Structure 1
């Protein structure tokens, strides 16, 4: 999802106007409020195959960009559940033009499994002339080369609930039945005011729209501060889907959202509770080892040319403070519940250490 290519202002993260392919497109509608297009390809991959796409190891390929917070969720959940062998992963580069995310990181600029240069090709194989955003994350059927779904919120839940036969031994329960109502409630407000809230600030086309989004964002961050001041995780005493969804926004806050999106009442590193919470997750296996700060900064600052016309990428902030002690263990909690941490990522999926300079 994140910041995709294909349509006009409004898509899942941001979908540029196709008239500006050279710069990535238009993100801000002058005088208006950013409205996210939430019409996704709703097909589901399920254990019973009721939508025609059954769970089957090796059949599907998850297309992501490490720059995108929405795709980052799927990367984390796939890691925590140990689904690397069951679902392969295609990693697009950090930038895109108005047409599509591209596989420019791969030899010859083609994904080695799907054989395509642009994610757009997988969308068009199922929906010729697909008019909405070419978005990540997306699940692609390898035999046909067709996109199956880009419904990022449902995708991560289905990894937890439909792919259980292929979870690793010791996989945590990220969406336990007993907590689903509360997780859903927390996710709904965090999405509206934080995950999407930073975009509503950054892509606001008027002072009024920006100020409204800014206040909603920081009011919600204050609410989260209060909630997390006495408990280690958002729901229950273990990591759940709710923590994954909040983390991918928080980890981008100081490098991108504080300056680029004008979310500047305070940095994350100046909000003690949320900063400690984010560092706790960052140092938890499966979280920080998925983060590519270089891709994150390059994406936002190079692609959003109507916000940052020069395309200059800032050198800061210093990232070494991500590894300072967080002290959240004092609140108790068991990160993986009755499960275990995931092993290190496969060598081919490890983030370049130069892209996450932690000192």
Structure 2
């Protein structure tokens, strides 16, 4: 049997250990509470998390598949028992017990949604034990659909929250339209560059080829093949991107055809770092710069001149330059060209500059150093790593 002293020591030890455990657990709980923040902080985080999960489903616009995937997340944000997303004419998505059964049917939802669309303001429909909050989705002032929250009783908080969610959906759809417009604009700019190539260059190239048919048939045949390969590349239908290697190959064919016209008046210097040849670049982003050097830099210069093309590794970028020692450009006229206020001259420069800025940001447009009689140096920097940009199959 333990002595009284021993029992006392054991009791004190047990109490000490118990206090330590309680303090440790209290410390951990307090720390966890601090990490998670207040209840308001946690609610804010949960809301942001839910809307971030819903956002990608609107990148293709207001479509049934995307709306169905987003509906669950938006219902969680509103905390309602049913949620529907409609277009102007049909129900696109239903989620929650009141949406699946016990709530209004599709025909009733479509009827009340159409009224909210026409009114372009949030409406509350009560009755049958289920209230519906119909908030229009307004994109640039036009209602394109509705977000519908269903609840046994719709209070003022739910009405306001549903309107805010509809405004958020409208913002996502507006971004999707901007992305689509941007893609269409880029496609139009590529078509403009192709149109720029076709009339002037094709006419002169065919004339040059014709001039060799009798005097040098072999060279004429070679030029026909180069002409066919260049035009096939320039007018290909797939992809907005290519590799630096492919674009340089097309430029080589272009210059061979121009040399058939100008002979030794055009000289070319190349300095290309092998490690940047696989860099993905916008389709027809270099060839128009070289064509600009020929047409506006050297064609009108007595004795012609030199075109230098370089491509080097600059860390996260491939730095590419196109330089000529031709006539140069007046800086004031150049500013007008890049601003889009000068018609018909140096169109290629403007289109390439706009496309680069759209793709990589305003700081990544063309850098042009020029002056009358001093030639022109054009520099562009292309990110070497561009997730989501695919050069597509070889031309």
* Same-fold call, TM cutoff 0.5: no
Query: Comparing both structures, which one devotes a greater share of its residues to helix?
Result: 2
Range into which the TM-score falls when normalised by the shorter chain: under 0.3
Which one scores higher on RCO, CA 8 angstroms, separation ≥ 6?
Answer: 1
Query: Comparing both structures, which one devotes a greater share of its residues to strand?
Result: 2
